[in-house]
Structure 1
């Protein structure tokens, strides 16, 4: 019983945000290197805000606006970002593992070297997004709009792309399944000679 109680309190402390950091984020509309684990940042406008290096794991970001914001090197694992707007922002080297971002807007976002394992990106709008060197495992892009996006040096074999729009999407040095390759060609994607279809 004592061990269960201790585990509960350790779990609470590990997911608790810093109240001063949350206050700064809500008032200044940015917070660099902040502890915002599990914080409620939903339905706010953080356009142009700098959050690089912050821990936003398990945070609620749904319907918030991060237009042209800096979320590079952020931990967004397990965050709720449904219908959030990240238009033309920077999310390089960010951890988006298990992020719930259904319907979110990633148009023109730089996601270079980000981790998108088990990310729910169904119905997202990611035109011109850059996924160079990003890691994918069981990522779900079902019904996503990925037109003119870049997938360079990725392994996409476990990624779901059912009904995804891939018009003019560029694939280079990337590994795809044969079914994904067929879908990409049907969608008029651009597959260079270094793409492997397995």
Structure 2
């Protein structure tokens, strides 16, 4: 059970952020709606059909949240903890999730177009049918992640760790994989048009045509 001090801290943070949202100059009804949605997210870690685009919650502890059809476009969530959260149809377009904790998250049909996920830790997550077009995943920890049929068109995956990742059927057209670690990754049926894989570690990775690559194996310890 959370301590009284912790609850008071969360309430204080929620109150401050709610005041900021309500000071933007929206209509009274929208202010009230957003205030309630924000309170629900910060205090109860639940966000169903909430309208919270543009909020600032950097470093917030939102672990084990449930986000259902949540609008978090252009939100600032750098360093936030969302580990073990479940998100259906969440909209994170152009959101800042850099250095966030996304371990063991489950996302389905979520939109992360042009989102900043640089340095994020999404290890052991299951992201199905999500759109990461032009997203920044540089230096991200994507070990053991499932990105089945994900859209990664022109995404920046440079120096990302994708060891044992499942990219089955993913669209990587134009993606940047320079320095990416794809050791034992599954790229079966993935689309790799206009992708330079020459500087990626593909040791024992299953390639789109079903063959096993040995590229980079000499560097493995």
Return the alpha-carbon distance in structure 2 between the equivalents of residues 27 and 137 of structure 1.
36
Q: 1:116 and 2:132 equivalent?
A: yes
Give the deviation of 1:194 after TM superposition.
Answer: 4.9
* CA distance in 2: counterparts of 1:84 and 1:75, whole angstroms: 16
Report the counterpart of residue 4 of structure 1 in structure 2: none
Query: Is residue 57 from structure 1 mapped to residue 108 from structure 2 by the alignment?
Result: no
8 A contact 2:143–2:161 mirrored in 1: yes
Kindly indicate whether the alpha-carbon contact (under 8 Å) linking 1:174 and 1:194 is maintained by their aligned counterparts in 2: no
Q: TM-score, normalised by structure 2?
A: 0.76
CA contact (8 A) 2:99 2:121 kept: yes
Give the one of 27, 34, 38 matched to 1:22: 38
The yes-or-no answer on 1:187 pairing with 2:203 is yes
- Aligned to 1:27, the other structure's residue is in SS state helix
On the 8 A contact 1:26/1:41 being kept in 2, the answer is: no
After superposition, the C-alpha distances for 1:33-63 in whole angstroms (9 at most, x for unaligned) are 2111111122111111101210111011111
Once superposed, what is the RMSD of the aligned Cα atoms? 2.3
Q: Could you say which residue in structure 2 is the equivalent of 1:8?
A: none
Q: Over alpha carbons, which structure has the higher Rg?
A: 2
Q: How many angstroms apart in 2 are the aligned matches of 1:187 and 1:177?
A: 20
Q: Name the structure 2 match of 1:127.
A: 143
Q: Which of 103, 106, 112 in structure 1 is aligned with 2:119? A: 103
For residue 110 of structure 1, report the CA deviation from its aligned partner. 1.4
Q: Which has the higher contact order (CA 8 A, sep 6+)?
A: 1
TM-score by length of 1: 0.84
Q: Unmatched 5+ residue regions in structure 1?
A: 1-11
Unpaired segments ≥5 residues, structure 2: 1-24, 212-221
Pairwise CA distance, 1:185 = 6.7
**CA offset at residue 101 of structure 1?**
1.1
In the alignment, is the contact (CA less than 8 A) between 2:177 and 2:197 conserved in 1?
no
